[in-house]
Amino acid sequence: MASFTPTIPVHRPATSRGNRADLPPVIGGGDDGRPDPGSPDYRARLRRARLGLAVALTPILMLFVSFTSAYIVRQGLPSLDPNTNKVVHDWTPTPLPTVLFLINTGVLLLSSVTIELARRQLIRRVALQPVESIPGVTLGNEKEFPWLGVTVVLGLGFLTGQWLAWRELAARGFFVATGPSSSFVYLLTGGHAVHLLGGILALLVAGSTVILRRPLESRRIVVDVTAWYWHFMALLWIYILALLEFAH
Amino acid sequence: MVAQESHGHAAPQGFIRKYVFSLDHKVIGLQYYFLALTAVFVGMFLSLLMRIHLVWPGVSLPLLGEIKPETYLSLLTMHGTIMVFFVLTTAPQGGFGNYFLPIQIGAPDMAFPVLNMLSFWTTFIAYLVMLSAFFVVGGAPLHGWTGYAPLSALQSAGPGEGLGADLWIISIALFCVASLMGALNFITTTLDMRAKGMTMMRMPLTCWSWFITAILGLLAFGVLLSAGILLLMDRNLGTSFFLPIGTINGQLTGHKGGSPLLWQHLFWFFGHPEVYIAILPGMGVASQLLSTFSRKPIFGYKAMVYAMLSIGLLGFMVWGHHMFMSGMSPYTAFAFSVMTMAIGVPSAIKTFNWLGTLWGGRIRFSSPMLFAIGFVSLFVSGGLSGPFLAQPVLDIQLHDTYFVPAHFHLIMGVAAIFGIFAATYYWFPKMFGRMLNEGLARWHFWFSFIGTYAIFMPMHYLGMAGHPRRYSQLTEVAYLRPLMPLQKFITYAAFVTIAGQLIFLFNFFWSLRNGKKATDNPWEATTLEWTTATPPPHDNFGGHTPVVHNGPYEYAVPGAPRDYVMQTDPATVAAH
C-alpha cells in the first residue's frame, strides 16, 4: 500500500555570516552518505571545485619552491673571473624599484579585498535565490556592486605597475641577462605575473557566465575558486617581494 | 579553474565529440593508450638502429645512410625521451588509469572531464613537437633524456642543439603541464568521487597506485617545468642559470657564473620520482593480478598501501644518488646513499607480499598472470642492482657504464612495460569486448621474457668490464674488443625480442575483430569494472551507482557460494 505523504524540498539558506554553514566539508570518505558522485548537485560541485583548486595550487607552489631553491643556491655559488683567473663571488644585488613594488602590493591587496566582497555577494545571492523565486516576493533595493569588474581593473592595474617596474629596472641598466640577480628578479616577478593573468582570465570566464545566462550557481563556483586562487596569488606576491628584498 | 558540468548529459553522438574531442574518460584512456602504442614502436625502432650501429658501425642503412656519432646521440636522446615520457608515463597512468580508475571506484567519470580532454590533447601536441625535432635543421638534440647542461644550454654545442633542442624542451614543458592537469584529475576523482561504501581502504591496489603516482606527478612535474623554463631562458634570453663561464669550440660563450649542477639537482628532483611514476602503476596491476589469478586475497593489503606510500615519499629524498660523481660532499653522498637503500625495505615488503600471495594459491597461468609474474621477476632482478649503484664507492666504478642502463632498463623500462602488457591482457576484454588469443599471448610472453633478460643481463657484465655508455663507436678500443661477442649477442637478442612484439601487435588488432566474445567477468575477478557491461556504457554503470560492501580481494572466502565475492555483493558476512 503506497502512502501519500508528499514532501516538499525546503532549502534552508545560510544567510548569517558568522557560522560557516556555507562551507561544505572538504573531503568526504566513502561512507558519509554523500549524494551520488557525478550528480550535478551544487554543493558537491562546489566542494569538488575547491578540492581541485587546492590540488592545483600544489604544483604552482612547487614551481616557486624550485625557483627559490635555485635562487638561494645560485647566490652562494662562486664563479671564475676570466680576467684574473680567480674564483670570485659575482652576485651583485639588483636595486629594486621598491616604492613601485609597494604601490603594486597595495593594489593587489586591495583587489584581494574586492574579490572577497564579490565572493560573499554571490554567496548571499545564491542563499537568497529560493526566497526570490517565491511569487510576489522581491528583495527590493539590494544593489549589485560590480566587485568583479573592480577586481579585474585592479588586477590589470597591478600588472601595469609590474610592467612599469620592469621598465624602471631596464632604465637602470638591469635586463634579464645582465647578471644572475637580475635574471631571478625578472623570473620571479614574471612568473607571478603570468599566473595572475590566468586569474584575470578566470574572472572574465566568470563574467561571461552572466552574459551566457548560465545558472547563478555556476558563476558562484567559478568566482569562489578564483577568489581563493587570487588570495593565493596575493600571498605568493608578498612572499616573492620579501624574498627579493630580504635575501638579495 | 572552471568547474565543469558532470555527467548529467547524454552520450555524445557525432564522431568528433565521441572519439576525437571526447570528454569520456574511457575514450581518453584509449587515446592515451594508442598514443603510447605508436610511441613504443618509434622508441623501439630507434633502439634497434643504435644496436645495429654499435656492432656494425660501418654499415649503411637505407634512408639513413651511415650513422654519424652525432646521429647516434640523437637516436639515444629521442629513444630515452620518447620511452620515458610518452610510453612509461603515458600508458600506465594516462591510459589504464584514465580508463579504470573511475570505474574501479564506482564513479561515472573523472572529476573534471574537460580538463581530462585538455590533458590528452596537450600530451598529443607535446608528442608531435617532440617528433618534429627529427625533421628540423641539425636534427634531434644530443643531450640525452636527462638534458644535462651545459650541452643542452648552448645553441652552438652541437648540430642537434639548435632548434631541435628548443623543440625538445618545449615538448617536455607541454608534457609537464598535461601531466599536472592529469594528476589534478586523478587526485580529485579519487578523493571525491568514490561510490558509497568504497572507503580508501577498500580501493583496489591499482587505484592506490594511480593515486600515489598522481601525487608524485603533482609534486615532481612542476619542478621539471621550472628547470625547463630556466633552460629555455639560458638558451634564448642570454641568462646564466646553468651556464658557467667558459669556452665552447674555442670561443667565449658570453655566459657567466651559472651552475650546470643546478640543472642536475632540479632535473633529478623530478627524475627520481619519475622512475616511480613509471613503475608504481605496474606494482598496482601486479598486485591486482597476482591476487585474482592465485584465487587468494592479496597478502598484506595495508602493508602494500603503506609500502607504496613510503616508496613515494622516499623517492623525493634520493635524487642525489644520480650525482655521486659531481663532486658532492661525502657526507651528503652518505645521506643520499642511506636513504636510497632504505627504499629497499618497502620494495622487499612488496616483493614478499607478492610471493606470499602466490604461496598456496590455486594459480591460473593465464597470459595476464604470466606477465604479472614476469613483472615481479624483473622487479627483483632489476631492483637488486639498485643497492649496488646506491653506494658511492661502487658508483664511482659503475657510473656511466652499461651497468646503469642494465639496471634502469630492467626495472624502469622492462618491468613497467610488463606491467602495461599485464594490464593489456587483463583489461582488453573489458575495453574491447573480445578476448585476446591466448596461444599468441603465451608466445609473446616467452619471447619478451627471455628476450629482455637476454638483452639486459649481459649489459651488467659489459658495465663491470668498464664499457662506457652513450658512446657511438667503441669497436676499435683494445680493452673493449673482447666484449664484442657479447655486444653482438645483445643485438641479436634485440632483433628476436622486437620480432616477438609483432606477435603482440598482430594479436591485438586481429582480436579486435576476430577475438572470442568476452563475457562481463571472464577472469572471475571482484572489482567494480567486472560488474558492468562489456564494454562499459557511457556513464560506466548504465544509470545506477554501485554500492560497495566488500574489499577488493575477497577470494576463497569460506562459506561463500563461489570462490570469489564481488565488491558489490551484499551477501557476505563482511568481517573486514
A30/B200 touch (CB, cutoff 8 Å), yes or no: yes
For A50, A116, A149, B2, B226, the CA distances from A229, given in Å and listed in that order, are 10, 11, 17, 12, 20
Q: Which residues of B118-142 are buried (b: 16+ CB within 10 A; e: fewer)?
A: bbbebbbebbebbbbbbeeebbbbb
Q: Which residues of B546-560 are buried (b: 16+ CB within 10 A; e: fewer)?
A: bebbbbbbbbbbeee
Nearest CB among B8, B111, B230 relative to A70 is that of: B230
Inter-chain contact A36–B545, Cβ cutoff 8 Å? Answer: yes
Structural domains of chain A in order of their starting residue, each with its CATH number: 42-246 (1.20.120.80)
Q: Do B3 and A46 touch (CB under 8 A)?
A: yes
Percent of chain B with pLDDT over 70: 95
- For the segment A26-46, the average pLDDT, to the nearest whole number, is 55
pTM for the whole structure: 0.91
pLDDT digits 0-9 by tens, A148-184: 999 999 999 999 999 999 999 999 999 998 888 899 9
Q: State which residue of chain A sits closest to B235, comparing Cα positions.
A: A177
How is residue B74 written as a grid cell? 640523437
- Contacts (Cβ under 8 Å, ≥6 apart) of B373: B290, B358
Chain B residues within an 8 Å CB radius of A177: 237-240
What type of residue is B22?
S
Q: Is the peptide bond before A146 cis (omega within 30 degrees of 0)?
A: no
Count of domains forming chain B: 1
Average pLDDT over residues B273-298: 96
Q: What is the pLDDT of residues B417-448, one digit of tens each?
A: 999 999 999 999 999 999 999 999 999 999 99
Range of the domain at B93: 20-245+255-530
Mind telling me how many Å the CA of A2 is from chain B's nearest CA?
24
Lowest mean pLDDT among A29-33, B396-400, B564-568: A29-33
- Please indicate if any CB of chain B lies within 8 Å of the CB of A229: yes
Q: In the predicted model, is pLDDT for residue B39 greater than 90?
A: yes
What does the pLDDT read at residue B574?
47
Percentage of chain A modeled with pLDDT above 70: 80
Residue of A58, A71, A89 to mutate for B, most B C-beta atoms under 10 A: A58
Residue B568 lies in a domain: no
Taking 70 as the threshold, does the pLDDT of residue B142 lie above it?
yes
8 A C-beta contact, residue B189 and residue A26: no
Candidate from B183, B221, B259 with C-beta closest to A77: B259
User: Between residues 154 and 193 of chain A, which touch chain B (CB distance below 8 Å)?
Assistant: 176-177, 180, 183, 187, 191
Q: How far is A141 from chain B (nearest CA, A)?
A: 31
Q: b or e along A231-245 (b: 16 or more beta carbons within 10 Å of the residue's beta carbon)?
A: bbbbebbeebbebbe
Neighbouring residues of B308: CB distance < 8 A, sequence distance ≥ 6? B205, B208, B209, B212, B280, B283, B284, B346, B350
Q: In the structure grid, which three cell numbers stand for residue A100, read together?
A: 613601485
Domain at B131, CATH number: 1.20.210.10
Give SS3 for B91: helix
Give pLDDT tens digits for B319-332: 999 999 988 899 99
Q: Which residue in B1, B106, B223 is closest to A202 by CB distance? A: B1
Contacts with B237 from chain A: Cβ below 8 Å: 176-177
Least confident span in A11-25, B30-44, B467-481 = A11-25
Question: Lowest-pLDDT range, A184-188, B475-479, B483-487?
Answer: B475-479
Q: B10 in a domain, yes or no? A: no
A155 burial level (CB within 10 Å; 0-12, 13-18, 19+): buried
CB B367 within 8 A of CB B441: yes
Question: B25 pLDDT exceeds 80?
Answer: yes
pLDDT in tens, B331-386: 999 999 999 999 999 999 999 999 999 999 999 999 999 999 999 999 999 999 99
pLDDT tens by residue, B150-175: 899 988 888 899 999 999 999 999 99
B191 at the A interface (CB within 8 A)?
yes
> How many CB atoms lie under 10 A from the CB of residue A169?
22
Please state the rounded mean pLDDT for residues B30-49: 97
pLDDT (0 to 100) of residue B11: 73
Q: Do A38 and B7 touch (CB under 8 A)?
A: yes
SS3 B61: strand
Query: Considering the domain boundaries, does residue B569 fall inside one?
Result: no
Give the angle subtended at the CA of B63 by the CAs of B57 and B66, to the nearest 5°: 20
By the CB < 8 Å criterion, does A59 face chain B?
A: yes
Distance CA A180, CA B243 (A): 11
Q: Which percentage of chain B shows pLDDT scores above 90?
A: 83
Residues of B in contact with A76 (CB under 8 A): none
Confidence (pLDDT) at B252: 67
Nearest to A236 by CA among A118, A70, A67: A67
Q: Is residue B29 part of a domain?
A: yes
Residue B200 lies in a domain: yes
Q: With respect to residue B466, please indicate whether it lies within any of the assigned structural domains.
A: yes
Residue B82 belongs to some domain of the structure: yes
pLDDT at residue B2, rounded to an integer: 38
Measured between CB atoms, which of A28, A73, A205 is closest to B2? A205
Whether B450 is covered by a domain: the verdict is yes
3-state DSSP helix/strand/coil % of chain A, to nearest 5: 65, 0, 35
B262: closest CA of chain A, how far (Å): 7
A57-88 pLDDT tens trace: 999 999 999 999 999 988 887 777 767 777 77
Cα end-to-end span (Å), chain B = 39
Grid cell in block for residue B218: 603533482
